[in-house]
Chain A
Amino acid sequence: MSTSLVGLLGALLFILLLALSMPVGFAMAIAGCLGFALISNPGAACHMLSSVFFETFSKYDYTVIPLFIFMGQVCFHSGISKRLFDTAYKCVGRLPGGMATATVAACAAFGAICGSGPATAATMAAVTLPEMKKRNYCMQLASGTVASAGSLGMMIPPSVVFIVYGFLTEQSPAKLFIAGIIPGLMFVLLFIAYITWKCIRNPQLGPASPPSSWQEKLHSLLGVIDPLLLFIAVIGGMFLGWFTPTEAASVGALGSLVIAACRKSLSWSMLKRSLMETIRSSCMILLIIAGAMVFSRFLALSRIPTELASALTRMQMPGWLIIACILATFVILGTVVDSLALVLMTIPVFLPLLSALNVDLIWFGVLVVAVVQVGVISPPVGICAYVVSGLIRDVSLQSVFKGCIPYMGMLVIGIILLMLFPALATWLPAMM
């Protein structure tokens, strides 16, 4: 049997195991190990399996994942979300659809201290949806806004997806974080532009709130100084080269504990909940990484990615078309596969092709995250939409998905802008 045929059979086995609902990390490890055993020998495959798992669990660079997750969890449990929303509401609440605009701004700010889209959506939905309901907002617009703005947590640094992508492509997570800042802000502006346009055309959808005085606005800003300082310390420290990503994550974790202690929200039960959620999420992510590493070693041995790359290069298709096809694949798979799992499953396959095309992997990483954002708000398994729908019982899941559609359009516009103007993603990292 040729190595390529074994490679294809391994990929089919992986898809079969996924369809049978086997956890993604396990499916990749099993298919990868069996394929590796067929191409080399069972002893080498088992040796590779246990080494890869242990190395993944004990790698210094990977500790950045639990540390950033812990920082987000502590912030999540210490009530920062409400203060962020209050500040944003006092600043922009008087605009048409002001409360929805404030939701987008607060989600972006919360995303800056929490690396997960669904966590951002869950946190902000609990704070913002009851308020918007009280102000007679159209709940389709409201729920779609929270779910979509929650996905901004994946683009705005620190982002777990960027960290994982960085490991797979051997790109600096610090550079990827910095690359996500301008596109993240661009998506914020696109979302706000849509809300304002929609609510100017039909003010019933999102009535403007009474204006706040400058004194109120300044006073509310005091409530967000601590998360702002935390963000500046973490991202600024990396940008200026003071910290490695692991050290920055550690500073962030320590800083979030100090903030929680100063705000008197640090308790034993809060710490326990944050730790349990952190170890669960981190273990889940690192297990998928370990599985993806096993699978990518098998794929490399089968030579499928390199053969795919050379076949596509021989076809002499324009580079932008190949990238557009890859992104389309991400969009389609992103509707049924979790964002992290998607990145871990597909990047090892596409990496040789991207290298053959001389694609800037920082820019491509930003594009991948933007595309994954579309996946987390689109049916049938858009996780952010599910999270929001689970929190507000009187809005159907269908309605949340309908509310997300215009934001998907905004994300697509943003993706096109990123493809046309790569400097949006590459300018800041080039300054590091």
Chain B
Amino acid sequence: MSQLPRKALTTLVLIMASISGASLLAIIAVTGVDILLRRFNLAVHGAIDIVELLSALCISFALPYTTAVKGHIAVEFLFRRFNRPAKLVSDSITRSLGILLFAALSYFCFSHGYAMLQKKAVSLTLNIPRFWAYWQAGFAFAVVILIKLYHLANPGKELIKP
């Protein structure tokens, strides 16, 4: 992959990670304010709705960053004993399967989101449309595919240094 797409992908991943971090702070703020206000019988209306949507945003937008820094847990006990060609083959197989997994996840999240848009599905208390939550997850899964393609083309390298 040439430098420009790599830089663009890195920037996109970091922007998504920043949104993820901001969502986490927002979860803390909403829950904290809710607990405080409940002492005065003034709970935040729909706090659970907000937290659930923010949580979906936080975790799905963290996924590209976690993948970019190779932050997922794998059992490397046997893998370390493989020779270099075996490692390359094994790495290519697992990454290709990972790409298929995230392609399926992305496609079905977009398709669920579209179905929700058609049905005008909303959250339980605040009636916030839910389709975008599925679409943002689908988008995050699609970005993971790009990162996996980068890792496939550049074996042994992280897209972002942790």
A residues adjacent to B (C-beta < 8 A): 17-26, 29-30, 33, 46-47, 49-51, 53-54, 56-60, 62-63, 66-67, 70, 243, 246-247, 250-251, 253-254, 257, 272, 275-276, 278-284, 286-288, 336-338, 340-341, 380-381
- Supposing A243-B35, A279-B20 touch, asked if A284 and B73 sit within 8 A by C-beta, the answer is yes
The answer to whether B71 touches A57, judged by C-beta atoms less than 8 angstroms apart, is no
> Main secondary structure on chain A at its contact with chain B?
helix
Residues of A within 8 A of B34 (CB): 247
Pairs across A and B, CB under 8 Å, 7 listed: A21-B74, A21-B75, A251-B35, A257-B28, A279-B62, A280-B65, A284-B66
A275 to B25, CA, bound (A): 9
**4 further contact pairs, Cβ within 8 A, besides A53-B105, A272-B21, A282-B59:** A23-B98, A63-B51, A284-B71, A381-B77
Report which of B28, B51, B55, B66 forms a contact with A253, defined as CB distance below 8 A.
B28
Report which of B51, B66, B134, B137 forms a contact with A280, defined as CB distance below 8 A.
B66
A250 to B78, CA, bound (A): 40
Report which of A20, A25, A54, A70 forms a contact with B137, defined as CB distance below 8 A.
A54
Report which of B71, B77, B98 forms a contact with A283, defined as CB distance below 8 A.
B71
Cβ-closest 3 pairs across A and B? A23-B72, A50-B108, A21-B79
The answer to whether B73 touches A251, judged by C-beta atoms less than 8 angstroms apart, is no
A406 CB, min distance to chain B CBs, angstroms: 25
The answer to whether A247 touches B66, judged by C-beta atoms less than 8 angstroms apart, is no
Interface size counted on chain B using CB atoms at 8 A: 50
Residues of A within 8 A of B52 (CB): 58-60
- Supposing A247-B35, A279-B24, A337-B75 touch, asked if A58 and B97 sit within 8 A by C-beta, the answer is no
B138 CB, min distance to chain A CBs, angstroms: 8
A54 to B134, CA, bound (A): 7
> Which residues, 48 to 94 on B, are CB-close (under 8 Å) to A?
48, 51-53, 55-56, 58-60, 62-63, 65-66, 69, 71-79, 90-91, 93-94
The answer to whether B108 touches A338, judged by C-beta atoms less than 8 angstroms apart, is no
The answer to whether A21 touches B91, judged by C-beta atoms less than 8 angstroms apart, is yes
The answer to whether B134 touches A20, judged by C-beta atoms less than 8 angstroms apart, is no
A101 CB, min distance to chain B CBs, angstroms: 33
A250 to B82, CA, bound (A): 44
| Nearest chain A residue, comparing its CB with the CB of B54 | A63
| Nearest chain A residue, comparing its CB with the CB of B68 | A280
A356 to B34, CA, bound (A): 41
Residues of B within 8 A of A253 (CB): 28
The answer to whether A19 touches B73, judged by C-beta atoms less than 8 angstroms apart, is no
With an 8 A cutoff between CB atoms, is B32 at the interface? yes
A74 to B52, CA, bound (A): 23
The answer to whether B59 touches A30, judged by C-beta atoms less than 8 angstroms apart, is no
The answer to whether A287 touches B109, judged by C-beta atoms less than 8 angstroms apart, is no
B2 CB, min distance to chain A CBs, angstroms: 27
Residues of B within 8 A of A60 (CB): 48, 51-52, 55
B residues adjacent to A (C-beta < 8 A): 17, 20-21, 24-25, 27-28, 31-32, 34-35, 48, 51-53, 55-56, 58-60, 62-63, 65-66, 69, 71-79, 90-91, 93-94, 97-98, 101, 104-105, 108-109, 112, 133-134, 137, 162
- Supposing A57-B56, A58-B56 touch, asked if A21 and B97 sit within 8 A by C-beta, the answer is no
A259 CB, min distance to chain B CBs, angstroms: 14
Residues of A within 8 A of B94 (CB): 17, 20-22, 26
The answer to whether A58 touches B75, judged by C-beta atoms less than 8 angstroms apart, is no
Residues of B within 8 A of A24 (CB): 72-75
| Nearest chain B residue, comparing its CB with the CB of A272 | B21
The answer to whether A70 touches B24, judged by C-beta atoms less than 8 angstroms apart, is yes
The answer to whether A18 touches B71, judged by C-beta atoms less than 8 angstroms apart, is no
A97 to B105, CA, bound (A): 55
A174 CB, min distance to chain B CBs, angstroms: 15
Residues of B within 8 A of A281 (CB): 71
B44 CB, min distance to chain A CBs, angstroms: 12
Residues of A within 8 A of B60 (CB): 57
The answer to whether B112 touches A54, judged by C-beta atoms less than 8 angstroms apart, is yes
A118 CB, min distance to chain B CBs, angstroms: 11
Residues of B within 8 A of A381 (CB): 76-77
The answer to whether A19 touches B79, judged by C-beta atoms less than 8 angstroms apart, is yes
- Supposing A47-B108, A250-B32 touch, asked if A280 and B71 sit within 8 A by C-beta, the answer is yes
- Supposing A49-B108, A57-B56 touch, asked if A67 and B27 sit within 8 A by C-beta, the answer is yes
Residues of B within 8 A of A272 (CB): 21
- Supposing A21-B75, A21-B76, A287-B63 touch, asked if A275 and B21 sit within 8 A by C-beta, the answer is yes
B36 CB, min distance to chain A CBs, angstroms: 10
A284 to B156, CA, bound (A): 19
The answer to whether A282 touches B31, judged by C-beta atoms less than 8 angstroms apart, is no
Residues of A within 8 A of B51 (CB): 60, 63, 246
Residues of A within 8 A of B104 (CB): 33, 46, 49-50
A93 to B134, CA, bound (A): 56
The answer to whether A280 touches B69, judged by C-beta atoms less than 8 angstroms apart, is yes
The answer to whether A254 touches B32, judged by C-beta atoms less than 8 angstroms apart, is yes
Residues of A within 8 A of B20 (CB): 279, 283
Residues of A within 8 A of B74 (CB): 18, 21-24
The answer to whether B28 touches A54, judged by C-beta atoms less than 8 angstroms apart, is no
The answer to whether A283 touches B108, judged by C-beta atoms less than 8 angstroms apart, is no
